[in-house]
Amino acid sequence: MAVATAARTITIAEALNESIRLEMRADPKIVIMGEDIAGGAQVEHLEDDEAWGGVMGVTKGLVHEFGRERVLDTPISEAAFIGAAVGAAATGLRPIAELMFCGFLGSCLDSLLNQGSKLRYMFGGKATVPVTIRTMIGGGFRAAAQHAQTLYPMFANIPGLKVVAPSNAADAKGLLTASIRDDDPVIFCEHITMYTLKGEVPGGEHVVPIGKAAVARPGSDVTLLGVSLTAVHALNAAKTLAEEGIDAEVIDLRTVSPLDEETILESVQKTGRLVIVDEANPLCGLASHIAGMVASRGFHWLRAPVGMVTAPHSPVPFSPVLEDAYLPNPKKVVAAVKETCSSAS
């Protein structure tokens, strides 16, 4: 009778929806909460309305299957509902909260910085906080500086939080499933421009472990490292480079924290060259951290300075022309690789 057991090509949004649905079926302790994630907000005259399913429609239909007791529309107060999610996790539920834009972290930071990330440590492992915060990252949506940020370095800087950012539909499903099942708080970053990106996704249960990077394309001349959309940029750049005789290995980081240092170092040992692509701001960012880690642990393998393609250290511009100039793209990656490969070794 089960229909969805074979792999098929679906969007990232549908893959996320499927992960949540299958996990909610398996575990009655899972509740989901956020702004308009059900739709209708329990207002009587909207009771019959088709569910809105969150600002990007990821949770569409779940309220019909699981009811309003497990699919909770919240007030527009991130401090309230992220606090509620962390508290519910600490007291026995397994909540998934949708923090619409990661910039809204500003409204609810205490729950994550001082409560959710600390409880297990401070109570000697006797408390767990199995909450998943789904949140949007990234620019390219013409949504201006407050709604286009890439803040995974800020989340990753807080010990006790895990930070995940998939680049394709299969990983979106598998990593979200792993995040929901994880007993620590996980910040699950979804790139705002990628929801309609399609890919082949296994049906049924599919888990991709947190903390394990993927070699998305094997190569021998240079290592390109990206995460979320920048992993896609790296793959596209690698195609262009292949036409020009440069064989790039692409590492899709998939998890920002904990960082899979071994996969990165193994690749650098093989290629001797590293270009990191990161949409976050550069100061104390992901690219600079990985460059530092490689300099510290793998300096003797490097045949050229580490290349970095990042956003500049400024807010995301609203002007479409400036936003395009601001963001990393495959062309910038190709240029950085050529510079790295032309360095004397």
Partner 1 sequence: MPIDVIMPKMGMGMSEGKLSRWQVKDGDSVEAGQVVLEMETDKATAEMTADVDGVISVVVAEGEVVDVGTVLGRIEPAEGAVVKPRAPGAAEGPSAEILQANGIALNVQRTGEGPAVVFIHGLSSSMELWTGLDQAGFQGRTLISYDLRGHGRSEQTPGAHTLRKHTADLVALLETLGVEQASLVGHSLGAMIAVELAASRPESVRSLSLLSSTAAFPQETRNTLFELASAATFGGMEGIADPLIELTFRPAFRDANPKVVEAIRRSILSSDAASIVAATRMVAKADLRPRLGGLTCPTQVLVGSEDSLTPPDLSRQLAAAIEGAQLHELPDCGHAAPVEQPAPVTRLLAEFV
Using the minimum distance from each CB to partner 1, give the nearer residue, 15 or 82.
15
Contacts with partner 1: how many residues (CB under 8 A)? 20
C-alpha to C-alpha distance for 160 and 127, rounded to whole angstroms? 12
Of these, 25, 29, 68, 239, which contacts partner 1 (CB under 8 A)? 25
Tell me if 142 contacts partner 1 by CB under 8 A: no
C-alpha to C-alpha distance for 333 and 269, rounded to whole angstroms? 21
Tell me if 3 contacts partner 1 by CB under 8 A: yes
SS3 assignment, position 236: helix
Using the minimum distance from each CB to partner 1, give the nearer residue, 52 or 152.
52
Tell me if 205 contacts partner 1 by CB under 8 A: no
DSSP string, 93-135: -EEEEEEEEGGGHHHHHHIIIIIITTHHHHTTTS-----EEEE
Of these, 28, 42, 49, 319, which contacts partner 1 (CB under 8 A)? 49
Map the footprint of partner 1 across residues 102-131, applying CB under 8 A: none
Asked if 54 contacts 37 with a C-beta cutoff of 8 angstroms, the reply is yes
Q: Which residues contact 320 (CB under 8 A, 6 or more apart)?
A: 142
Using the minimum distance from each CB to partner 1, give the nearer residue, 18 or 266.
18
Closest approach, Cβ 247 to partner 1, in A, equals: 36
Structure tokens at 273: 């060259």
Point out the residues that are catalytic. 147
Using the minimum distance from each CB to partner 1, give the nearer residue, 50 or 339.
50
Using the minimum distance from each CB to partner 1, give the nearer residue, 65 or 262.
65
* Three-state secondary structure readout of 36-79: CCCCCCCCHHHCCCCCCCCCCCCCCCHHHHHCCCCEEECCCCHH
Tell me if 11 contacts partner 1 by CB under 8 A: yes
The 57-96 site mask, x for binding partner 1 (CB under 8 A), equals: ---xx--xx-------------------------------
Closest approach, Cβ 60 to partner 1, in A, equals: 5
Using the minimum distance from each CB to partner 1, give the nearer residue, 61 or 202.
61
Of these, 27, 28, 50, 325, which contacts partner 1 (CB under 8 A)? 50
* Three-state secondary structure readout of 172-216: HHHHHHHHHHCCCCEEEEEECCCCCCEEEECCCCCCCCCCCCEEE
Tell me if 228 contacts partner 1 by CB under 8 A: no
Asked if 160 contacts 120 with a C-beta cutoff of 8 angstroms, the reply is yes
Binding residues for partner 1, rule: CB under 8 A, are: 1-4, 8, 10-11, 13-14, 17-18, 21, 25, 48-50, 60-61, 64-65
